[in-house]
Amino acid sequence: MSKVVQFFSEFYNMPIADILKLSNNIKDDELYKIDNRTIKSILPDFDLSKSNIDKYKEVLNKIDEENYKNSIDFITFTDEKYPQILKNIKNFPKVLYYKGNAELLNYKRKIGVVGSRKPTPYGKFVTTSLVKDLVQNDFCIVSGFASGIDSISHKSAIENGGKTICVFGTPINKIYPASNKKLFEEVLLSNSLIISEQHCLKSSLPAYFALRNRIISGLSTGLLVTEAGAKSGTLITANYAMEQGKYIFSVPGNINSSNSIGTNSLIKDGACMTTSISDILFEYGYEQNLQIADETYDDLSPLENSIYAQVKSAGSCHAEKIAMALSLSIQDVISILNILDIKGYVSYDGFMANYKIR
């Protein structure tokens, strides 16, 4: 946590290399003693006419007071716990203010979950269901704390015993929307995390909400879009994810629903069509955590029980993904799925080319 890096990152529009030079030559306890000549001695090309250093020091003091009052801390891009995954994106935030469990910044399995602010019952259902499955498979859920899908994602993660990271478009001391005050408290009680690149004295500007989307995708290894219209702000996050080379997952929706135009379009553009947790785990190459592994049926063989458990855990599953998870041939899996179909345990959904529980 470098005060020098915070100071020059917040108040001076200078390259990272210059900030590093200053932080290497000025100690934190010397910050309030320096003047423009100090900066000029380290950076000979520094333009003194653009520096109001005394005013900046006063503002920094006020930021410190607000942070203390609201139990808000910060890290800079020079700190060890600043996530490397975020440093890899274009225009990464030099300072992150946070409240809660900062260890989550470096949690390995982080996935962004975003969508419409006015979701349909379908959007609410698939978000709640998929987030539950993601949490059960050790994912930390990253989202933007907005109304709708974002809030549902955070809530579902917490309710299922998981962790979540809320990326604010406002300063942390300005809860938006105000209706999420209870959720704000629940996030902190669950040992989760709230972050923002905006310090406490900044106003809440609309532009900040679009900017924070790059952090949602930047922190995550992949992005799941559960429901989005044609002009949804969610698509900004998806574009950032594409630029950053992240996995993009999209839930298909009714072609007659305006709330699914965005998600269906993402699938047409190459996003992974996602109908169950198995689609996500398959892309990552992760094995599925089966919550029902001990539940077996006497009229099924051990292998039939194993394959049935895969389908039951996923809710709906491709034969290919079962084969991969259990290291079996696709032919053997399909043969057993047909037996399970005859016995009344599963059924084949020809439209989605999936097997599901009866």
User: For residue range 241-284, what is the model confidence (pLDDT) as tens digits?
Assistant: 999 999 999 999 999 899 999 999 999 999 999 998 989 998 88
User: Are 300 and 339 in contact, with CB atoms under 8 Å apart?
Assistant: no
Identify the weakest region by mean pLDDT among 193-202, 235-244, 286-295, 328-337: 286-295
Residue 75 CB partners (closer than 8 Å, separation 6+): 1, 81, 82, 95, 96, 98, 102, 105
Tell me the pLDDT tens digit for each residue of 126-184. Answer: 999 999 999 999 999 999 999 999 999 999 999 999 999 999 999 999 999 999 999 99
Q: How far apart are CA 223 and CA 227, in angstroms?
A: 12
Predicted pLDDT of residue 143: 98
Give the span between the Cα atoms of 24 and 78, in whole angstroms.
11
- pLDDT exceeds cutoff 70 at 353: no
pLDDT above 80 for 21: yes
102 in Cβ contact with 73 (< 8 Å): yes
What was the pLDDT predicted at 227? 95
- 3-class SS of residue 178: helix
Helix (H, G, I), strand (E, B) or coil at 57: helix
The 8-class DSSP code of residue 26 comes to S
Q: Which whole number is the average pLDDT over 341-352?
A: 77
Q: What is the pTM of this model?
A: 0.81
Q: Which of 26-30, 142-146, 316-320 has the lowest mean pLDDT?
A: 316-320
Omega into 121 within 30° of 0, i.e. cis?
Answer: no
The mean predicted confidence, pLDDT, of the chain is 90
Across-strand partners of 114?
225
Examine the pLDDT at 292 and tell me if it is beyond 50.
Answer: no
For residue range 47-105, list pLDDT tens digits in order.
877 778 999 999 999 999 999 999 999 999 999 999 999 999 999 999 999 999 999 99
CA-CA distance, 232 to 261, in Å (whole number)? Answer: 9
- Average pLDDT in the 219-236 region? 92
Please tell me whether residue 143 adopts helix, strand or coil conformation. Answer: strand
> Is the pLDDT reported for residue 287 higher than 80?
no
d(C-alpha 257, C-alpha 43), whole Å: 57
For residues 121 and 98, what is the distance between their CA atoms, to the nearest angstrom? 32
CB-CB contact of 218 with 164 (8 Å): no
Residues above pLDDT 70, as percent of the chain: 96
Alpha helical stretches, state H, the chain: 3-11, 16-25, 36-42, 53-69, 84-87, 121-136, 149-159, 181-189, 206-219, 234-243, 261-268, 277-284, 302-314, 319-326, 330-342
**Tokens 């047409």 found at:** 268
Pairing of strands 164-167, 222-225: unpaired
